[in-house]
Structure 1
């Protein structure tokens, strides 16, 4: 059975990420972001959202593993920052229900959502420039980089929250990530 560990960056929806994976029949565990990555046995990692990059604990160390990683909101921003991209304040700010245009229908994480999907996302902070090796896979009229992927390293990020009911195809994002991890 596929095992995916959710790293808790203290976001308000993190428990829903864990539940979404559990509901898909995945062996999953929610662990605090100060756990040493060498102590974690998993086929995949989800870096949860959270309120502040300064409270991300050891999350960046999980990027050095040899398993796929999905960053959600803050998790995606952390991936970008750690690997040479940039983040900054979003022009829109807070949460919004937005339409995301899928830019790469071959992307293993979100390509199946093409041509577009409705999502619930926070835009207080967002990725401004992609790290080397990443493909820009999703955009909206309120955020330039709604999603990114580096399929060579199996690193993926979405600005939105696939775990909340307001995101139309959120379960499909998790199903696709499970497929990547298998």
Structure 2
């Protein structure tokens, strides 16, 4: 059975990320952000959303586990920041429904949602500049980089929250991540 752990970066929806995976038949657990990566045996990792970079514990270390990593909101920002991208304050701010355009329909995480999808997202902070080696995979009128991927490194991120009911095709994003983990 595929095992994907959710690293809790103190987001309000972390339990929904675990639930989405569990409902798909994935062996899953929520781990404290200070859990040493060496203690984790998993086929993939989800970096949850959360309030700020000051509470991410050892999240950066999980990017080197050699398993796929899926960053959601703050989790995506952690990936971008750690790999040399730039994160900054968003112009839009808090949570809202957003129409997202998929700009890479070949992307294994979000490509199947093309040409567009409606999501629930916070834009208090966002990725402003992609790290080297990453592909820009989704955009919106609110945020230039709504999603990114580095398929070679197995690092994926979305600014939105696929785990909440307001996101139309959120379950499909999790299914795609499970497929990535199972193929790797």
TM-score by length of 1: 1.00
Match of 1:109 in 2: 109
CA–CA distance in 2 between the matches of 1:60 and 1:48? 12
Match of 2:72 in 1: 72
Structure 2, unpaired ranges of 5+: none
How far the C-alpha of 1:171 sits from its partner, in A, is: 0.1
CA–CA distance in 2 between the matches of 1:38 and 1:180? 21
Match of 2:127 in 1: 127
Q: Counterparts of 1:1-182 in structure 2 under 5 Å?
A: 1-182=1-182
Structure 1, unpaired ranges of 5+: none
Partner secondary structure for residue 118 of structure 1: strand
TM-score by length of 2: 0.99
Partner secondary structure for residue 35 of structure 1: coil
How far the C-alpha of 1:96 sits from its partner, in A, is: 0.9
Question: Deviations 1:76-104 (Å, cap 9, x if unpaired)?
Answer: 00000000000000000001100000001
Question: Deviations 1:104-142 (Å, cap 9, x if unpaired)?
Answer: 100000000000000000000000000000000000000
Paired residues, number: 182
CA–CA distance in 2 between the matches of 1:88 and 1:14? 22
